[in-house]
């Protein structure tokens, strides 16, 4: 273990010397990957990503369904719309609003479309978000929908980590970089302002400002007729924030716990506390869902109605409103269930649907102002997604179905439970082709930020891994949200190693069950999942034959000084606090490398333009391993694409093919990266 940082020089992301190092590493890695396997993988993955049969997921605004679409002919994509009637057809008649490829050619730029916010109620103007390199920073431009042109002299903000929402035809709430001192140490806006048309951005009225060491500030306007409200919020970190109702005479705090999630819909306030909440003479457990009349609550009432209470096997994953109903999505041992509640009938409830075994259902309202229509997506590891359009109280026929991207007729899905070091049962899914015994096995995980890994169809995994005889395993380790906030809390800060023990327990269980051997077992993870597999590399190297580590956190001593790292202190702890560094050091892969250790072959892939995690942690980790003489350490760094990995489907296919080729060939002992 060492705290000496001899590779800190690689933190200069765009330095000439640093980019020369990157170019040398890329050339070396490309040479290792080159061959028929990589070309075949890349072709198969790109065919999936560009597939014309994919479901064009819609968002209803006014009289139209809006969609953003990329394919081979339109690599940067098309923002488009169609009518609900046309969308029901096999081949909808799309009206192209913005051709991003054409925009790139006209402006000699590499824009990446990052979304559009349409102006209520006519939806005739939009705030278009364009990233110059695929990162989180975006330029904001006002766009006229009828003429399909950017508005001369309209709202226009240079690239920054900007968030904005319409208040009315000529006014926005906006949080952005307003100049020196207006960004937090987490690299997000610390001010939200009310910006009027024709006004200089710097002169816009500040409606909320947070201290520089907090996460961010923001504001939003609720346009619901009869329930128009303005809200401002200040987020201290990822899990704690305060929201205020903004009025003419100032702001009023919505007095829920700082760690609670809230949702205001018409007359209702819905609250989900992340820790137990004692209020009104009652205790409500973490992960429950509560409802109360919003105006009554602001007036002091604490007469809360319990809509959901978690148990040891069941958690609330989310909720969605239609005009008259609230739909809850639940997980029971990582299997979906949807319930519909009627606030107009004393919050009576009915079952909407159960997912097929080992599958997932997600629901969302089509238009929560006007109808009780809802979208429902059903998906599973081997079942292509289907999009259903239903009405509460009626049927929900399938409207669109994704194609089969691979032959799953001889494949199976199983759920198993491993026993972690402290006795905790950890679920995982195993997807296996027939006759896969003895073939490569890929174990994937994340384990952080209360994100749940649920069954979902992936043509990419099917084509690149399963169809080639590989077994795919998805682990539901602590740190995620599969069993609600407590499952997440169990791996926070000093308890972070519980997530790694869980993942190692799944690896051990796969070997104990005879599914694989350590030499044929690989693992992969991205972002926080990159930190996960980085700890597999340094703490459990004997369990794996190859590791793919994407856009990772690895240097936990300096992570708060790199990109948006300060924003994750609530998850990992603060390395500048000695008491915190004492436990963080134990799961900082960069500080747990040892000369003479037999590490498995490892591929690090990252992105120069990633302004969330940044590329430097992967650079430094690889450089230190190479300096220690560790063989078979590889790096590939894409130039653009941000934290997502690629700005278009071709770039995405390249980095995914790199990961799968490296793992498949290494675990089969057929590349120079193999032991």
pLDDT at 436: 78
Please report the pLDDT score of residue 633 as a whole number: 98
Q: How confident is the model at residue 467 (pLDDT cuts 50, 70, 90)?
A: very high
Q: What is the largest CA-CA distance in the chain?
A: 71
CA distance linking residue 518 with residue 179, whole number of Å: 53
- CB burial of residue 201 (10 Å; 0-12, 13-18, 19+): middle
* For residue 357, pLDDT beyond 90: no
What is the mean pLDDT of the segment spanning 569-593? 98
**Range scoring the smallest mean pLDDT among 300-309, 353-362, 575-584:** 353-362
| Predicted confidence band of residue 645 (pLDDT cuts 50, 70, 90) | confident
pLDDT value at position 647?
85
Q: Cα separation of 244 and 257, whole Å? A: 13
Q: φ, ψ for residue 249 (rounded to 5)?
A: -100, 10
Terminal Cα distance for the chain, rounded: 24
Residue 281 to residue 405: CA distance in whole angstroms? 55
Calculate the CA 546 to chain-centre distance: 25
Distance CA 413, CA 178 (A): 51
pLDDT in tens, 59-117: 999 999 999 999 999 999 999 999 999 999 999 999 999 999 999 999 999 999 999 99
Per-residue pLDDT, averaged over 504-531, amounts to 97
- For 407-436, what is the mean pLDDT? 96
Asked if the model's pLDDT at residue 355 lies above 70, the reply is no
Spell 585-599 as b/e; 16+ CB within 10 A means b.
ebbbbbbbbeeeeeb
Rounded to whole angstroms, the Cα distance separating 159 from 140 reads 7
> 353 falls in which pLDDT band (50, 70, 90)?
low
Contact 602, 552 (CB under 8 A): no
Q: Is the pLDDT of residue 674 over 70?
A: no
Determine the 3-state secondary structure of 413 from DSSP.
Answer: strand
Q: What is the pLDDT of residue 249?
A: 85
Q: What percent of the chain has pLDDT over 90?
A: 94
Q: For residues 155-180, give the mean pLDDT.
A: 97
Angle, in degrees to the nearest 10, between helices 497-512 and 528-539? 70
Q: How much is the average pLDDT of 264-286?
A: 97
Q: What is the pLDDT averaged over residues 33-38? A: 95
The pLDDT assigned to 473 comes to 98
Q: What is the rounded average pLDDT of the residues 573-577?
A: 98
Rounded to 5°, the CA angle 86-89-90 comes to: 140
Element holding 64 (H helix, E strand): strand 64-71
pLDDT at residue 335, as a whole number: 93
The DSSP result for 435-483, as a single string, is T-TTS-EEEE----TT--------HHHHHHTGGGT-EEEEE--BTBSTT
Check whether 175 has a pLDDT greater than 70: yes
Q: Is 669 helix (H, G, I), strand (E, B) or coil?
A: coil
Q: What residues are annotated to the active site?
A: 527, 643
- Residues 615 and 552: their CA atoms lie apart, in Å, by 8
Q: Which DSSP letter does residue 183 get?
A: B
Give dist(CA 126, CA 112) in Å, integer: 16
The pLDDT of residue 551 = 96
Q: What is the mean pLDDT of the chain?
A: 96
**Secondary structure letter of residue 216 according to DSSP:** E
Mean pLDDT (whole number) for 623-631:
98
Secondary structure in 3-state letters for 569-612 = HHHHCCCCCHHHHHHHHHHCHHHCCCCCCCCCCEEEEEECCCCC
Provide the pLDDT for residue 2.
Answer: 56
Q: Check whether 579 has a pLDDT greater than 70.
A: yes
Whole-prediction pTM: 0.96
| Token pair listed for 573 | 């702890």
Question: Does the structure show a pLDDT above 80 at 3?
Answer: no
């Amino acid at each position: 273990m060492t705290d000496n940082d001899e590779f800190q020089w690689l933190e200069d992301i765009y330095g000439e010397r640093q980019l020369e190092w990157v170019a040398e590493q890329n050339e070396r890695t490309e040479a290792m990957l080159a061959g028929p396997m990589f070309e075949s993988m890349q072709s198969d993955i790109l065919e999936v990503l560009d597939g014309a049969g994919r479901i064009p997921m819609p968002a209803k605004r006014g009289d139209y369904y809006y969609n953003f679409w990329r394919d081979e002919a339109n690599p940067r994509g098309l923002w488009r719309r169609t009518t609900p009637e046309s969308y029901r057809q096999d081949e909808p008649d799309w009206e192209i609003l913005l051709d991003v490829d054409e925009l790139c050619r006209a402006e000699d730029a590499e824009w990446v479309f990052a979304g559009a916010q349409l102006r209520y109620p006519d939806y005739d103007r939009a705030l278009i978000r364009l990233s110059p390199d695929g990162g989180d920073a975006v330029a904001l431009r006002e766009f006229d929908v009828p003429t399909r042109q950017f508005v001369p002299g309209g709202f226009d903000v240079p690239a920054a980590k900007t968030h904005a929402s319409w208040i009315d035809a000529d006014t926005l709430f906006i949080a952005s970089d307003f100049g020196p001192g207006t960004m937090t140490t987490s690299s997000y806006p610390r001010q939200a302002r009310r910006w009027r048309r024709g006004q200089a951005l710097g002169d816009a009225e500040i409606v909320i400002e947070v201290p520089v060491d907090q996460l961010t500030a923001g504001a939003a306007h609720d346009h619901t007729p009869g329930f128009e409200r303005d809200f401002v919020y200040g987020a201290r970190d990822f899990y704690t924030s305060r929201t205020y109702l903004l009025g003419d005479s100032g702001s009023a705090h919505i007095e829920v716990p700082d760690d609670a999630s809230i949702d205001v819909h018409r007359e209702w306030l819905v609250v989900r506390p992340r820790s137990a909440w004692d209020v009104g003479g009652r205790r409500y457990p973490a992960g429950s869902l509560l409802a109360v009349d919003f105006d009554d609550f602001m007036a002091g009432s604490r007469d809360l109605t319990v809509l959901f209470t978690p148990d040891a096997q069941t958690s609330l994953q989310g909720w969605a409103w239609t005009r008259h109903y609230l739909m809850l999505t639940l997980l029971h041992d990582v299997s979906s269930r949807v319930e519909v509640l009627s606030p107009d009938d004393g919050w009576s409830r009915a079952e909407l649907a159960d997912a097929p075994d080992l599958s997932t259902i997600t629901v969302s309202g089509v238009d929560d102002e006007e109808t009780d229509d809802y979208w429902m997506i059903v998906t599973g590891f081997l079942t292509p997604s289907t999009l259903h359009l239903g009405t509460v109280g009626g049927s929900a026929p399938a409207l669109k179905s994704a194609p089969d991207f691979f032959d799953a007729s001889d494949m199976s899905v199983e759920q198993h439970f491993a026993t972690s070091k402290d006795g905790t049962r950890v679920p995982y899914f195993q997807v296996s082709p027939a006759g896969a015994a003895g073939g490569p096995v890929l174990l994937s995980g994340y384990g952080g930020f209360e994100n749940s890994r649920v069954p979902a169809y992936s043509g990419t995994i099917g084509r690149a891994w399963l169809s080639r005889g590989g077994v795919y395993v998805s682990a539901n380790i602590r740190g995620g949200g599969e069993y609600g906030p407590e499952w997440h809390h169990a791996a926070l800060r000093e308890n972070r190693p519980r997530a790694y023990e869980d993942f190692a327990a799944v690896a051990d269980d796969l070997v104990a069950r005879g599914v694989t051997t350590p030499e044929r077992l690989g693992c992969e993870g991205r972002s926080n999942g990159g930190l996960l597999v980085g700890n597999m590399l340094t703490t459990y190297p004997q369990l794996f034959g190859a590791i793919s580590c994407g856009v990772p956190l690895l240097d936990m001593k300096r992570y708060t000084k790199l990109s948006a790292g300060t924003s994750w202190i609530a998850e990992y702890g603060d390395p500048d606090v000695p008491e915190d560094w004492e436990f963080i050091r134990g799961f900082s892969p960069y500080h747990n490398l040892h000369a003479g250790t037999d590490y498995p072959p490892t591929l690090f892939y990252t992105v120069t333009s990633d302004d969330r995690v940044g590329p430097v942690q992967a650079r430094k980790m690889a450089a230190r391993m190479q300096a220690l003489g560790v063989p078979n350490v590889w790096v590939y760094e894409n130039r653009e694409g941000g934290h997502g990995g690629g700005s278009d489907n071709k770039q995405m296919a390249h980095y995914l093919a790199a990961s799968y080729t490296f793992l498949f060939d290494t675990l089969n002992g057929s590349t120079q990266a193999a032991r």
